[in-house]
A and B are shown apart, each in its own frame.
Chain A
Amino acid sequence: MTLPSATLLAQSALSGLFIGALYGLLGLGLGLSWGLLHLINLAHFAFAFLAAYVCYQLATVGGVDPFLTLAIIVPSFFALGVVVQWLLARFEVSPLNSLLATFGLTAIVEATIQHFWTADFRKLDSAYAQMKFRVGELFVPVPELLTFLLAVGLSLAIWAVMRYTDTGRALRAAAEDGPIAEAFGVNRRAHSLLLAGVCAALAGVAGVCLALSFTLTPAQIYGWVGVVFAAVMLGGLGSALGPLAAGIIIGVSEALAMAVASPSWAPIVSFTLLIAILLLRPGKP
């Protein structure tokens, strides 16, 4: 086995950084709803892909700039998240059953996507797709860079809200002891709806990033589940910055493993990490 050149390794690490940021962005909403709403929302991935297809449609057919589609996707996915949470609360779905219910929802969304866009590959051809610039020896692709900036910006913003605002503190308190938080005036129902809306909107943003950099096919929904779960569990449930940091660690390790060994190593890296986390942090769910 010959070691690849330093430039190739650096380029690999950079692409690992970018895909890791997308893991983190996908994990952000998943982890928030898991940690703070005690809801394991598998449909988060389906929502992201639905948003990716909506972005594809608006950009390809409607000629809208992919980033401008956020103006439609963010509010409508917020509403979608609110409706789903309202239904889950209405029927008092337990955390375990939420996994099953949202798995069912995933299948419904997948079927819907397949109905409208078929199972064929779809690739968004936007002005951004070919944009890249050089930094020294390295190429920096613009869509991935923008994904990275969005992931960092949104994670920091959510972190600040959780830490410094009354609403953020109320959400964390309600996750620890709902009835007591309520006794101090926290309207748990309204907060759950708000948070679920934000998580779905984050899935929408992640979907736009997916559409910018990846070829879409409905079955791909499931391809992201394992690695993003690993990022969320490594980063900490309910944490705002954890999934991003963990996602980047996983992304970079995968990319280096691919560069040094072979592409088939990538999943092994993330699942080895996931199993190691489960074994080393037995107290965590």
Chain B
Amino acid sequence: MLEVADLSSGYGAAPALWGVSLAIGDGELVCVVGPNGAGKTTLINTVAGVNPIRGGTIALDGRDLTHLPPHRFCDEGIALVPEGRRLFVGMTVRENLEIGSYRRGARAARARSLEQVCALFPVVRDLLDRTAGTLSGGQQQMVAIGRALMARPRLLLLDEPSLGLAPLIVVAMFDAIREINESGTAVLLVEQNVAMALDIAHRAYVLDEGRVVAQGSPRALAAEPALRRAYLGVGAEPPSVPP
């Protein structure tokens, strides 16, 4: 469904992505891993329309998004859970979720979407009237994912959803991501927690210095000794996929 071809982006004079190509099929859960500063956030933000496209193309279900203004990406079915969550901290949780369903195509289903988010993350129901800035990291992450789901995306972009969370919460977060994906939403997941990401992904890309350096099934990537050493953490146990 998503076709990214030869994508370039950057900040000021400094390029951060050099001709990245990547594809996601219908209902697929694809993860992107790589060292710090590899360009993972730049890639995911560019696909979300937040970063400018310097070269190449982005297409969703055959529709070319390359030249759309940033605020139009969401209406094409893409929603972003940004790195560091970036909730509207001065607004209530309910208002954050309502901004999620701001786009015209999602407004009519707002009440139903809110029910679905509360069903996925039951604690959110009790937090609706709290100011987002007063929530714990795990609660904020749930709201950030909820906000994106309120847009009823066909493709959900997740940038390091486990960042800074306690291990038990991380497990819950990955379960939720799997559940979202199994309900039919395609997912592009960027993660530092390589083992867990490769565990739930259907396919994976390895990004380094703004380029794709490897791609394939999680099992194949995890089995590659050079990749394991260079990008997946030295001496890390292979993820829990049978050899």
- List residues of A whose CB falls within 8 A of some B CB: 166, 169-170, 172-173, 176-177, 179-188
List chain B residues, Cβ under 8 A from A169: 91, 95, 98-99, 102
* CB-CB nearest in chain A for B69: A187
Chain B 33-71 near chain A by CB (<8 Å), digits 1 or 0: 000000000000000111000000000000000000111
Which residues of B lie under 8 Å from residue A181 when comparing CB positions? 88, 99
When the two chains form their complex, are residues B70 and A179 in contact, meaning their CB atoms are under 8 A apart?
A: yes
A-B contact sample (19 more), CB < 8 A, given A176-B88, A176-B91, A180-B88: A169-B98, A169-B102, A172-B88, A172-B95, A176-B90, A181-B99, A182-B50, A182-B70, A182-B71, A183-B49, A183-B70, A183-B74, A184-B74, A184-B100, A184-B103, A185-B74, A185-B151, A187-B69, A188-B71
Main secondary structure of the interface of A (DSSP, over half): helix
In the bound complex, how far is the Cα of B75 from the Cα of A249, in angstroms? 46
Interface residues of B in 99-148 (CB under 8 A from A): 99-100, 102-104, 107, 147
The CA of A187 and the CA of B72, in the complex, are separated in Å by 8
- Which 8 A-B pairs have CB atoms at the shortest separation, nearest pair first? A185-B103, A185-B74, A182-B70, A176-B88, A187-B71, A182-B71, A173-B88, A173-B99
When the two chains form their complex, are residues B91 and A184 in contact, meaning their CB atoms are under 8 A apart? no
Q: Tell me how far the C-beta of A41 lies from the nearest C-beta in chain B, rounded to whole angstroms.
A: 22
Asked whether A184 lies within 8 Å of B102 as measured between CB atoms, the reply is: yes
A183/B48 contact (C-beta < 8 A), A176-B90, A177-B86, A188-B71 known = yes
In the bound assembly, the distance between CA atoms of A262 and B72 in angstroms comes to: 60
Contacts of B72 in A (CB 8 A): 185
Which residues of B pack against A, CB within 8 Å?
48-50, 69-75, 79-80, 82, 86, 88-91, 95, 98-100, 102-104, 107, 147, 151
Cβ contacts under 8 Å, B79 to chain A: 183-184
Given B80, B86, B102, which contacts A166 in the complex, CB threshold below 8 Å? B102
CA distance A8 to B94 in the complex (A): 49
Q: Which residue of B lies closest to A163 (CB)?
A: B95
Contact present for B102 and A182 (CB under 8 Å): no
Chain B residues near A187 (CB, 8 Å)? 69, 71
A160 to chain B, nearest CB (A): 14
**Chain A: CB-nearest residue to B106:** A185
Q: Which residue of B lies closest to A238 (CB)?
A: B90
Cα distance A166–B102 in the bound complex, in angstroms: 7
Choose from A176, A177, A186 the contact partner of B102 (Cβ within 8 Å).
A186
Provided the pairs A180-B50, A185-B75 are in contact, do residues A170 and B88 lie with their beta carbons within 8 angstroms? no
Cα distance A177–B133 when bound, in Å?
Answer: 13
Q: How far is the CA of A169 from the CA of B73 in the complex (A)?
A: 19
26 residue pairs of the A-B complex, CB under 8 angstroms, read A166-B98, A166-B102, A169-B98, A169-B99, A170-B99, A172-B95, A173-B88, A173-B91, A173-B95, A176-B88, A179-B50, A180-B82, A180-B86, A180-B88, A181-B99, A182-B50, A183-B48, A183-B74, A183-B79, A184-B147, A184-B151, A185-B74, A185-B75, A185-B151, A187-B71, A188-B71
